[in-house]
Chains A and B, each alone.
Chain A
Amino acid sequence: MDDIDKKILNIIQLNFPVIERPYEAIGKDVGISEDDVIERIGNLKKEGIIRRIGATYDPRKLGFVSSLCAARVPPEDIDRFVEVVNSYPGVTHNYERDHDYNVWFTFIAESMEDIERSIKEVIDKTGITDIRNLPATRFFKIRVNFTM
């Protein structure tokens, strides 16, 4: 990754131009041709640095709700528990973290009742009973981009 790649990444994380010729516009900003921009972005995708380029939706604005759930799972049950939790399409992120509450996953659904119902199902299927539903009560910041 050289300086031009970094400049491209900084532009396209937040302000990918939604216009007829986006790569030409990015090229003008960083001083290279449209073809070069396409080639560089292609390489950044091949290297796995760029996961995708597209829209990130706001669940709340679309009428969805989201939550963070914390579960206390004995180490020997983690694999089975994760398999059940991950089978829900609304579970988008799931991490093991170093705490008594050791499995943390995000849940998006059309209503909080749907999330509560799914958590009850997970409890029934896995026998893991200590799952906390922690929907945000105040939002201070949501931003996922990094200055390179």
Chain B
Amino acid sequence: MGKKDMTETEKAICHAVQFDIPLIPRPFEKLANEIGVSEGFFIQKVQEFLDKGYIRRFGAALRHRKAGVTANGMGVWKVPEEDRESTGNIMASFKEVTHCYERPSFPGWDYNLFTMIHGKTKEDCFEIAGRISEATGITEYKLLFSSREFKKESMVYF
């Protein structure tokens, strides 16, 4: 499964939509013409990749800072093994939480659930983390804010 099983034409279609599609009435027609397939076939393939989950999301990526969502706090939580499944699901249900993963802990680092929390301000993020703590009963946590952004790019797969 995955990129290895795709035809050259399919990879060309994926390549065409991985950056920024043209801002014209028929963007897919132009992209299809450039690689020599019909507009209908191109659209059908993109839909197929969405259905298969190769494309997780098709849409606009925003610069959060400019969109007024300025603070991002990485919440790290120390959750006992037996509670992780239920706690992770509760954390994921918060709309301000965009990512929630379990990751390994290591000596000197006890935190094992990670949540990206987005808010307008740092105070918002603290308030949201407080509500998550109340909802889950997890009291050992930290919020790590980003003080500098060194890189933020989309992966080039094709």
Contact = CB atoms under 8 A, between A and B. Distances in A.
Interface of A: 9, 12-16, 18-24, 34, 38, 41-42, 45, 47-59, 61-64, 68, 70, 82, 85-86, 89-99, 101, 103-105, 108, 132, 134-148
Contacts of B150: 82, 85-86, 94-96, 103, 105
B54 A13 contact: no
B62 A146 contact: yes
A54 B18 contact: yes
A86 B27 CA distance: 32
B153 interface: yes
Contacts of A20: 26, 28-29, 39, 43
Contacts of B27: 22
Contacts of A24: 25
A64 B157 contact: yes
Contact of A148 (B14, B67, B103, B144): B67
Given A54-B19, A136-B101, A140-B101, A94 B67 contact: no
Which of B47, B98, B144 has the largest count of A CB atoms less than 10 A from its CB? B144
A57 B145 contact: no
Contact of A56 (B52, B57, B84): B57
Interface residues of B, number: 74
Contacts of A141: 91-92, 97-100
A64 B21 CA distance: 24
B146 A96 contact: yes
A91 to B, nearest CB: 6
Contact of A49 (B57, B66, B89): B66
B151 A54 contact: no
19 contacts: A12-B59, A16-B60, A18-B28, A54-B17, A54-B58, A56-B55, A57-B14, A57-B18, A59-B157, A63-B1, A90-B155, A92-B153, A94-B152, A99-B144, A105-B151, A136-B103, A139-B101, A144-B99, A146-B64
A65 to B, nearest CB: 11
